[in-house]
Amino acid sequence: MDLEEEEEEDYRSESRRKASTVFSVIASVLSGFLGNWACFKVSEMLNVPSQAFPAAGSQQRVAPAGQSRNKVVLKPGHSLLDWIRLTKSGQDLTGLRGRLIEVTEDELKKHNTKKDCWTCIRGMVYNLSAYMDFHPGGEEELMRAAGIDSTDLFDEVHRWVNYESMLKECLVGRMAVKPSPALQAHTEKTESTHLNGLSAPPSLRPEPLSAPLPAKDHRPRYDWFQTDGTVNIVVYTKRKIPSAGCAVVDLQDDNLRVEMLLGRMSYLLYWRLSSRVQDHVDVQTAHSVGKVQLCLRKSVKEKWTQLGQSLEHHDTFIQCKDRGLFYRECVLLSKTDVTHNTQLLRLQLPPGSRMQVPVGRHVYLKTSVQGTDVVKPYTAVDQMLIPPSQSSAEVGSDIHLMIKVYPDGVLTPHIANLPIGASLSVGGPEGSLTLRVLRDVTHLYMLAAGTGFTPMARLIRLALQEFTVIRKMKLMFFNRQERDILWQSQLDELCTKEERFEVQHVLSEPADSWTGRRGRIDACMLQNFLERPENSKCLVCVCGPAGFTESAVQLVRQLDFSEEELHVFQA
């Protein structure tokens, strides 16, 4: 067994749990709990820009007749912007006239009705009653949090949502600390939990009881050495690193944060450095041996007696989902039109940051709308479908995001109007795809709708370049009109160049002149598309609007594809 396999073994039960979670989430979607893809994917318990997304005219928003749709239609005057306005109105949203109190568990339990709904997130207690009608996921979903510590529930679907900002006027206070040795601090997630001078109590939540950690010697380790002018940190990840890399480095002031994204796991190194260094970090990766080397240039040529002082969570190896989000300010370098309503943004990371976003993962854009932070996930793409070689920019110094602008959105028109040189806060990366799912796959099928194409874009490139076992790679790409097809000419070009790759376009609102496939996803389309030749190992990847994803998953299952043969991209 190689290291990856051992890790896989360690996580087999976790994977099973995850896979069944995907299906149970989907089942919930169908049964009306999660309501829509935005819930399931964009996680709208508290802060999905309801106006931004889905757009008013989007098929996600308007349930076509006869189709299973559970999207909660917010009453007029209950959009995200309306909520922001209400929070600024000076109204008492907690019923405590601005007083902050300590809340016991017993007290919390009492506030469990729609009109009096308190919940606890990371030790802080909020009164959600005023928010009830503004919640895009609906009252039913929000009521699941009533009267309890909903941190895990929140993290399941909303981890990235900036609830502190969204709910700051709903803050009731903090949980009273219960002296119990069994409860351990969950400090990573309390990093930013400081509100109105209150900070979350340190010992509230047990460590996540998820999968067991890999055995000790699977842990990455690090070493450092120095020369007169440089400090070098070497991280031995102990597993093969894909070509896209795995390192996310942030040097801010004298703090150096290095995160290695290794499948489901995250290894973090975090120091306040002993002495000053220049703000440029060089990152070299030896992919096959799994080694990452960082080179920092000393501001003053002097001998360091130590690298620095360890900061919070230094040298920890935990699941990515349990690691707090880290933001850095990026500069908008360019905007290029991809289609009539979609732009490719190139963002430059600050000089001390390097970010190698693993394939299929997303980052978060955070911006302030009328003083409230609005956050939304975007899957990182490359500059082109198949760049000729490594782009001229230094690896990991910039990121590309494909953004569809929804005219009545909250965030996207703002982003579209940003001038070149403007700054944007970028958090992450995050995401659930691990390359293990591609192991031994011979037939890779991708069902993408609209911007759901973005995670497929890098997957196609990776599969073509690194997974020679894949004999066939087929994309079925659903759009409304031909003008909506992202990177159409690049896809067509790839088809002619690459025998293994095939694309089929399906339009739901085609012009009369369209000679290709029409309609929405259905069993008939998939029957021929998802072939399963003898001795093949198939993987079907799905990404798109909620209704599309629901249908696609159902249909794929009906065609007897197992849970292991299906990956649903979700943010």
List of residues contacting ligand NAD (CB under 6 A): 37, 41-42, 58-60, 67, 362, 379, 404, 449-452, 454-455, 478-480, 484, 508, 520-521, 543-545, 547-548, 551, 569-571
Residue among 256 and 568 whose Cβ is closer to ligand NAD? 568
Q: How far is the CB of 287 from ligand NAD (least distance, A)?
A: 25
| DSSP states along 350-374 | PTTEEE-PPTT-EEEEEEEETTEEE
Q: How far is the CB of 501 from ligand NAD (least distance, A)?
A: 20
Residue 85 to residue 340: CA distance in whole angstroms: 31
Residue among 277 and 359 whose Cβ is closer to ligand NAD? 359
Q: What is the DSSP letter of 522?
A: -
Residue 378 to residue 399: CA distance in whole angstroms: 11
Reduced to 3 states, what is the DSSP secondary structure of residue 510?
coil
Q: How far is the CB of 428 from ligand NAD (least distance, A)?
A: 12
Residue among 269 and 553 whose Cβ is closer to ligand NAD? 553
Entry field: residues in the chain: 571
Q: How far is the CB of 564 from ligand NAD (least distance, A)?
A: 20
Q: Which of 146, 161, 169 is nearest to 100 (CA)?
A: 169
Q: Which of 208, 269, 46 is nearest to 136 (CA)?
A: 46
Q: How far is the CB of 570 from ligand NAD (least distance, A)?
A: 5
Q: How far is the CB of 502 from ligand NAD (least distance, A)?
A: 19
Q: Which of 288, 211, 280 is nearest to 2 (CA)?
A: 288
Residue among 270 and 478 whose Cβ is closer to ligand NAD? 478
Q: How far is the CB of 276 from ligand NAD (least distance, A)?
A: 39
**Contact 73/54 with Cβ under 8 angstroms?**
no
**Contact 277/231 with Cβ under 8 angstroms?**
yes
Residue among 272 and 480 whose Cβ is closer to ligand NAD? 480
Residue 381 to residue 401: CA distance in whole angstroms: 6
Residue 484 to residue 154: CA distance in whole angstroms: 34
Q: How far is the CB of 479 from ligand NAD (least distance, A)?
A: 5
Q: How far is the CB of 463 from ligand NAD (least distance, A)?
A: 17
**Contact 283/395 with Cβ under 8 angstroms?**
yes
Q: Which of 97, 104, 93, 102 is nearest to 174 (CA)?
A: 102
Partner residues linked to 445 by β-bridges: 474, 540
Residue pointed to by tokens 């599969």: 463
Q: Which of 464, 494, 552 is nearest to 22 (CA)?
A: 552
**Contact 136/107 with Cβ under 8 angstroms?**
no
Residue 102 to residue 121: CA distance in whole angstroms: 14
Q: How far is the CB of 259 from ligand NAD (least distance, A)?
A: 20
Residue among 260 and 543 whose Cβ is closer to ligand NAD? 543
**Contact 53/42 with Cβ under 8 angstroms?**
yes
Residue among 296 and 540 whose Cβ is closer to ligand NAD? 540
Residue type (1 letter), 121: I
Q: Tokens at residue 242, please?
A: 């894909």
Residue among 265 and 521 whose Cβ is closer to ligand NAD? 521
Residue among 308 and 360 whose Cβ is closer to ligand NAD? 360
Residue among 39 and 103 whose Cβ is closer to ligand NAD? 39
Q: How far is the CB of 106 from ligand NAD (least distance, A)?
A: 39
Residue among 201 and 545 whose Cβ is closer to ligand NAD? 545
